[in-house]
């Protein structure tokens, strides 16, 4: 993309009503625009990041065996009356009446709808297990929407639902999703920690929240430092192998890690040596629940088990805050000059800054780099504006492109361009070909991971 052709409405002023860095930066960099309280348009730069995050989530869900589908945003109130949640959900639910006076609602989550689909279309135990998911907009009429897309009213969620015959099978589905989440967040360079959680209005007996540590997080968290250091890396495992998947879950859930809702101060003292005790704040980016037959029993989502006859299916649900993740990643990756995108989710892979727009040699070198990067499968943003170098650098720093190639007449005389890392600030002089080869080798494993 050429910057002169793009839509990047960068604000000069820092928006005064934005309290946290991610909200300020997303507004300043022209990623989002508020249309009403808790409702945002995703402008092109923000939308690119959102899509990158969605892609990673899709890949890892499917790798873990979940199947993609799409359900509507508007739901019938009758389904929610069957589960008993129509009244329980309270004022957070946006209730709508259509022209025929039918009660509808804008879905805050989809347990009822997927249970309805399942009960109508599946009746044999032979069709189990299944994990179905979608990525769809949700609406929750939050009493205090704030921090931009972090706590919005309309937000994008990945929600998966598992269906199993027995509790043991359901726990395996739960564990699969837990491991898929570890993998998903690791690919985004996030240190996400599963913490024992309250189940809230979703219900159930078994639940973990995934949080990343950040000063601006809304939850207080208490944890053993050891769990933050853990990583799956390129560890090989098989999602079908129950014992293996369970042992990964155990490894991550054995160290103490809880939010203030479930924190037990005495247990924390007993279980975690003083020097490893961490009290911090966290942002919830995902939440997994095993709730057994909470919905399948009242809604009669049953299958024929050869031994037990008709039995309600065992279910779980698994959410990821896709739009919240954009903000959470910024909270974890920024400095005083702007955002610093991890390569896995960056809106553009590399910025090309032409120091002397209009100079035939500099323009030619930029054009050929731009074409070469695209041919190598990379997504460059070429700043082809006739601006001062300082202004071009400031824009690229603000929008956080992880790599910058600076092209100017002086370097070109010696056959070199400058490659700069946004994160470390370190620069090196390389031939244009070598810069291209280096970037290709950085992005290849990020875009097509094997493990």
Query: Tokens representing 204?
Result: 């159930």
Query: Tokens representing 284?
Result: 């919830």
Instruction: Give the chain's radius of gyration (CA, Å).
Output: 24
CA–CA separation, 289 vs 209, rounded Å? Answer: 9
Burial of 90 (0-12, 13-18, 19+ CB in 10 A): exposed
Output the CA–CA distances (angstroms, integers) from residue 9 to 3, 14, 19, 26, 28, in the order listed: 11, 13, 21, 11, 8
Binding of residue 140 to ligand 5CA (CB under 6 A):
yes
CA–CA separation, 166 vs 125, rounded Å? Answer: 10
Residues forming beta bridges with residue 381, ordered by sequence position: 351
User: One symbol per residue from 56 to 95: x for binding ligand 5CA (CB under 6 A), - otherwise; what is it?
Assistant: ----------------------------------------
Choose between 113 and 350: whose C-beta lies nearer to ligand 5CA.
Answer: 113
Choose between 140 and 294: whose C-beta lies nearer to ligand 5CA.
Answer: 140
**Member of 53, 64, 152, 362 binding ligand 5CA (CB under 6 A):** 152
Binding of residue 252 to ligand 5CA (CB under 6 A):
no
Binding of residue 317 to ligand 5CA (CB under 6 A):
yes
Binding of residue 43 to ligand 5CA (CB under 6 A):
no
Shortest gap between Cβ of 427 and ligand 5CA (angstroms)?
37
Binding of residue 53 to ligand 5CA (CB under 6 A):
no
Choose between 249 and 419: whose C-beta lies nearer to ligand 5CA.
Answer: 249
Reported in sequence order, the residue ranges of 330-409 that DSSP labels E, i.e. its strands, are 334-335, 338-339, 350-354, 380-383, 403-407
Residue nearest to ligand 5CA (CB): 321
Output the CA–CA distances (angstroms, integers) from residue 70 to 92, 157, 170, in the order listed: 23, 12, 23
Stretch that binds ligand 5CA, among 2-10, 155-163, 375-383, 407-415 (CB under 6 A): 155-163
Binding of residue 202 to ligand 5CA (CB under 6 A):
yes
Greatest Cα pair distance in the chain: 81
The residue among 158, 153, 112, 113 whose CA lies nearest residue 135 is: 158
CA–CA separation, 137 vs 73, rounded Å? Answer: 7
Q: What sections of 95-161 are H helices per DSSP?
A: 111-121
Binding of residue 159 to ligand 5CA (CB under 6 A):
yes
Binding of residue 318 to ligand 5CA (CB under 6 A):
yes
Stretch that binds ligand 5CA, among 26-34, 52-60, 77-85, 152-160 (CB under 6 A): 152-160
Which residues in 270-309 contact ligand 5CA (CB under 6 A)? 284-287
Binding of residue 142 to ligand 5CA (CB under 6 A):
yes
Binding of residue 155 to ligand 5CA (CB under 6 A):
yes
Which residues in 103-122 contact ligand 5CA (CB under 6 A)? 109, 111
Shortest gap between Cβ of 181 and ligand 5CA (angstroms)?
10
Burial 56-69 (b: 16+ CB within 10 A, else e): bbbbbbebbbbeee
Choose between 147 and 443: whose C-beta lies nearer to ligand 5CA.
Answer: 147
How many residues bind ligand 5CA (CB under 6 A)? The answer is 20
Binding of residue 406 to ligand 5CA (CB under 6 A):
no
Choose between 103 and 218: whose C-beta lies nearer to ligand 5CA.
Answer: 218
Choose between 66 and 157: whose C-beta lies nearer to ligand 5CA.
Answer: 157
CA–CA separation, 270 vs 273, rounded Å? Answer: 8
Choose between 272 and 327: whose C-beta lies nearer to ligand 5CA.
Answer: 327
Q: Are strands 277-292 and 219-224 parallel, antiparallel or unpaired?
A: antiparallel
User: One symbol per residue from 321 to 360: x for binding ligand 5CA (CB under 6 A), - otherwise; what is it?
Assistant: x-xx------------------------------------
341 phi, psi to nearest 5 deg: -75, 135
Shortest gap between Cβ of 294 and ligand 5CA (angstroms)?
12
CA–CA separation, 426 vs 447, rounded Å? Answer: 23
The residues binding ligand 5CA (CB under 6 A) are 109, 111, 140, 142, 151-152, 155, 157, 159, 202, 284-287, 317-319, 321, 323-324
């Amino acid at each position: 993309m050429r910057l002169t052709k793009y839509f990047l409405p960068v604000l000069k002023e820092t928006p005064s009503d934005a309290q946290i860095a991610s909200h300020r930066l997303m507004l300043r960099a022209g990623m989002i625009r508020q249309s009403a309280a808790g409702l945002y348009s995703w402008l092109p730069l923000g939308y690119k990041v959102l899509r990158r995050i969605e892609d990673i989530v899709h890949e890892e869900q499917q790798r873990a065996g979940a199947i993609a589908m799409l359900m509507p945003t508007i739901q019938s109130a009758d389904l929610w009356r069957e589960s008993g949640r129509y009244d329980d959900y309270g004022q957070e639910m946006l209730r709508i009446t259509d022209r025929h006076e039918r009660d509808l609602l804008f879905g805050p989550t989809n347990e009822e709808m997927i249970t309805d689909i399942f009960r109508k279309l599946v009746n044999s135990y032979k069709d189990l297990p299944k994990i179905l998911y979608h990525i769809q907009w949700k609406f929750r009429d939050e009493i205090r929407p704030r921090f931009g897309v972090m706590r919005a009213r309309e937000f994008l969620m990945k929600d998966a639902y598992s269906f199993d015959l027995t509790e043991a099978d359901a726990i395996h589905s739960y564990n699969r999703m837990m491991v898929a989440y570890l993998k998903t967040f690791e690919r985004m360079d996030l240190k996400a920690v599963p913490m024992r959680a309250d189940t809230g209005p979703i219900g159930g007996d078994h639940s973990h929240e995934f949080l990343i540590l950040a000063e601006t997080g809304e939850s207080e968290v208490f944890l053993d430092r050891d769990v933050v250091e853990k990583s799956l890396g390129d560890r090989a495992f098989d999602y079908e192998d129950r014992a293996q998947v369970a042992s990964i879950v155990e490894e991550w859930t054995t160290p103490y890690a809880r939010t203030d809702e479930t924190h037990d101060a005495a247990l924390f003292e007993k279980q975690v040596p003083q020097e490893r005790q961490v009290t911090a704040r966290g942002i919830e980016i995902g939440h997994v629940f095993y709730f057994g037959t909470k919905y399948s029993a009242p809604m009669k989502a049953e299958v024929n088990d050869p031994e037990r006859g008709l039995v309600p299916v065992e279910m779980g649900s698994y959410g990821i805050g896709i739009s919240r993740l954009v903000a959470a990643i910024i909270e974890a990756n920024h400095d005083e000059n702007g955002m610093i995108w991890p390569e896995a989710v960056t809106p553009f892979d590399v910025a090309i800054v032409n120091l002397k727009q209009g100079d035939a040699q500099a323009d030619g070198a930029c054009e050929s780099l731009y074409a070469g990067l695209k041919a190598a499968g990379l997504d460059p943003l070429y700043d082809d504006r006739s601006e001062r170098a300082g202004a071009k650098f400031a824009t690229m720093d603000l929008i956080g492109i992880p790599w910058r190639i600076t092209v100017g007449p002086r370097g070109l005389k010696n056959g070199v361009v400058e490659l700069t890392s946004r994160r470390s600030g370190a620069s090196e002089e390389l031939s244009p070909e070598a810069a291209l080869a280096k970037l290709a080798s950085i992005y290849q494993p990020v875009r097509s991971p094997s493990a």
